[in-house]
Amino acid sequence: MKRERGHPLYWIVRAITWFLSLFYFRFQSFGSEHIPETGGCILTPNHVSFLDPPMVGVAIGHRVVHFMARDNLFDAPVLGWWYRKIGTIAIDRTKGDLAALRTALNGLKSGKVVCLFPEGTRSLDGELQQPKGGVGFLIAKAGVPVVPVYVDGTYRAWPKGATWIKPKKVRVYFGKPIPPEQFGVDSKGKPDYDKIVELVMGRIGELKPD
């Protein structure tokens, strides 16, 4: 399976963001080699700041990342254009958005990397929250490796409600991929969505630096 090349603008903006992050956030990333070179893959970071998506994106230099983002972010003309250009998947968080899940599944099965935030929205205290519904379903249906991710420092730099981005150190940690075979089934032999999410959230928490 060939690796997705992505739009040239994706790589240009990533390079600029990476360069700026090195100076402003003293940015570092660890473990991006755990992301497969080819084939579908799901990234599951914690979520504490609007900075999380760009920091995860700049930490990965060998794959194009398609983020799942709430649909109202597409309403802004320039930002909405950019999201569509790079293949961001719009999702309506007020309901079970089957169309968004279908789009994500199709992308994963065609060999793309999809990043979703299991918690759905930004944490108010910087700690892990309860995951949203639908995460376990998507993981089970996709049948691809899941790479847990922990983003550290973005909460201190730009927490929810803050009006200014502070120059705090930001680090992104990628864990070893969880193969599809590790996601269990219930007593009836069906995917156990709750256990899937519990496993993923546990792996995210293990990456948190001391």
pLDDT at 45 (0 to 100) = 98
> In CATH, which of 3.30.70.890, 2.70.98.90, 3.40.1130.10, 2.40.50.140 is domain 8-206?
3.40.1130.10
For the cut 80, the answer to whether the pLDDT of residue 160 exceeds it is yes
Averaged pLDDT, 85-100: 84
Secondary structure of residue 43 in the 3-state scheme: strand
- Backbone dihedral region for residue 134 (phi beyond 0: left; psi -120 to 50: alpha; all else: beta): left
pLDDT at 132 (0 to 100) = 85
- Quote the pTM value: 0.94
Q: Which two tokens stand for residue 163?
A: 């009006």
Rounded CA-CA distance 150/203 in Å is: 9
Averaged pLDDT score across all residues of the chain: 93
- Contact predicate 69/89, CB 8 Å: yes
Lowest mean pLDDT among 9-13, 24-28, 182-186: 182-186
Element (H, E) at 69: strand 65-70
pLDDT at 176 (0 to 100) = 98
For the cut 70, the answer to whether the pLDDT of residue 187 exceeds it is no
For the cut 70, the answer to whether the pLDDT of residue 150 exceeds it is yes
| Cα dihedral 156, 30, 73, 199 in deg (nearest 10) | -100
Rounded CA-CA distance 185/204 in Å is: 21
Rounded CA-CA distance 83/90 in Å is: 9
Q: Where are the domains of the chain?
A: 8-206
**Number of H-type helices and E-type strands within the chain:** 7, 7
For the cut 70, the answer to whether the pLDDT of residue 186 exceeds it is no
pLDDT at 73 (0 to 100) = 85
Averaged pLDDT, 136-156: 96
Element (H, E) at 186: none
From 178, 133, 201, 150, select the one nearest 42 (Cα to Cα).
178
pLDDT at 210 (0 to 100) = 83
For the cut 80, the answer to whether the pLDDT of residue 168 exceeds it is yes
pLDDT digits (tens, 9 = 90+) for 188-202: 668 889 999 999 999
